[in-house]
Amino acid sequence: MKLQKIPDGLWVFAGGGAGAFMRAVLTEIFPQTFLHLPVAVLCINVLGAFLLGCLLRFLAVSGQDAGWRKATRLGVGTGVMGGFTTYSSFAVGAVSIATSGSVAAAFMYVSASIILGFLACFLGQIIGEKLGFTSKNSQNGIKIRGVR
């Protein structure tokens, strides 16, 4: 079966299921909190932001968004990384920490997630671009303007 014949939604569904499954397994294995912070969700979100930044920039600079690149973007990017990371557990988790009395811990959790997530994603993008430009398939080895 050709890649193009597989509907976009199926890549997203399969990848999203796998990502959510991995997150569930990791939070089950590491339910511990460190300084009142749910470290598993924090690590999952920061790692996911890094990997998604890296993947999307690699795919964008290494060639056209078609064929295996599009399938990878949808399956691994939108699907696995999107399903692996979570915003709802992050927001509700922070509120739960705050309402249970540790407002300082909730503030730390939110700041750490956003600051580390942002930096990790930026770093991932830079690495992804480096990998994409040096890859054999690179069709546009020119400096890009903007990032879209």
Partner 1 sequence: MLWCLIFLAGGAGAWCRFSLDSALKKRWTHPVPIGTVTINFLGSFALGLLTGYALTHPEHQILTTVIGVGFLGGFTTFSTAMVEAVNAARSGQALASFWLALGQIIGALILAFAGLTLGTAVF
Look up residue 73 and give its two tokens.
């973007």
Nearer to partner 1, 35 or 95 (CB): 95
Least distance to partner 1, CB of residue 137, Å? 22
Nearer to partner 1, 111 or 139 (CB): 111
Q: What angle do CA 33, 123, 28 make, to 5 degrees?
A: 25
Residue 33: what are its φ and ψ, rounded to 5°?
Answer: -110, 150
Using the structure block, give the residue that is written with the tokens 């932001």.
49
Least distance to partner 1, CB of residue 7, Å? 10
Nearer to partner 1, 6 or 20 (CB): 20
Q: Please give the Cα distance from 58 to 134 (Å, whole number).
A: 10
Using CB under 8 A, list all residues that contact partner 1.
Answer: 8-9, 12-21, 23-25, 27, 45, 48-49, 51-53, 56, 74, 78-79, 81-92, 94-96, 99, 110, 113-114, 117-118, 120-122, 125, 146-148
Do the Cβ atoms of 62 and 21 come closer than 8 Å? no
Nearer to partner 1, 1 or 28 (CB): 28
Nearer to partner 1, 3 or 114 (CB): 114
Least distance to partner 1, CB of residue 136, Å? 25
- Nearest residue to 48 via CA among 142, 144, 136, 116: 116
**Other C-beta atoms lying within 10 Å of the C-beta of residue 122:** 13
Least distance to partner 1, CB of residue 93, Å? 9
